[in-house]
Amino acid sequence: MRLRHLAMTLSNLPSHPFREPALEQYGTDGETAARWLFSINSEEPFEETDGIIDLGAGNGILGIGALLLGAPNAIFVEIDEEVCKSLQDAIASLDLGDRCRILNGNVKSIIDDEIKRDVVIMNPPWGRQTPRADRPFLDSAIKCANDSIHLLHGRGAQHIEPWADSVGWVAKRWMEVDLPMPPIYSHHTKKRNTTEAAMWWIKRPAR
């Protein structure tokens, strides 16, 4: 699949309902997701993994994109039951159900032995509403990923590399993007905005 086709496909997925500001439910747009996933795939082909986990999946844009690029299967973890319905619709719209598993629950409750996969991809809460809101996602990712974690976070985040080092992994910031931020909550005052984001590749050291 070409980059443009992937971006169009992901942009046309059933949308995230964005109901809970406290959960920092901000989606990844189709163009950003496609560029990021294409870059990952060029370095770490999805078809050569045993599958991926999408933590805080929302409408599943990251996991679905990985499937379209060849990942054999995907596990989606999402706490919001209504959002899971949008995720199910997104998966069904592309006839990917036989390669997917949806877990409706908190990332803190993940039993990692049941869902370990080579790669975790996530755009977790950045902690702007609740400090350290990303920490459960980071801790869960390190338990579930066999090889690598791909993380989208605010560009100003200073804790990713020290955290990775503290758990014996290595983090590299390797992409930056101005992430579209449409006005989805009542506290948003601008019609359309962007926010500075970056992508980290967090790898387990060679064993």
Q: Tell me the percentage of the chain whose pLDDT exceeds 70.
A: 86
- Nearest to residue 168, comparing CAs of 118, 207, 110? 207
Identify whether 183 is part of a domain.
Answer: no
Identify whether 205 is part of a domain.
Answer: no
Can you give the pTM of this predicted structure?
A: 0.90
Identify whether 163 is part of a domain.
Answer: no
Identify whether 126 is part of a domain.
Answer: yes
Amino acid symbol at 3: L
The enclosing domain of 10 has a CATH number of 3.40.50.150
Q: How high is the pLDDT of residue 206? A: 77
Is 161's pLDDT higher than 70? Answer: yes
Other beta carbons within 10 angstroms of residue 129's beta carbon come to 14
Sorted by sequence, the CB contacts under 8 Å of residue 78 that are 6+ apart come out as 56, 57, 58, 84, 87, 102, 103, 104
What is the span of the domain harbouring residue 125?
Answer: 3-16+29-156
What is the tens place of the pLDDT at every residue in 43-97?
A: 999 999 999 999 999 989 999 999 999 999 999 999 988 889 889 999 999 999 9
- The domain tally of the chain equals 1
Is 136's pLDDT higher than 90? Answer: yes
Identify whether 62 is part of a domain.
Answer: yes
Identify whether 181 is part of a domain.
Answer: no
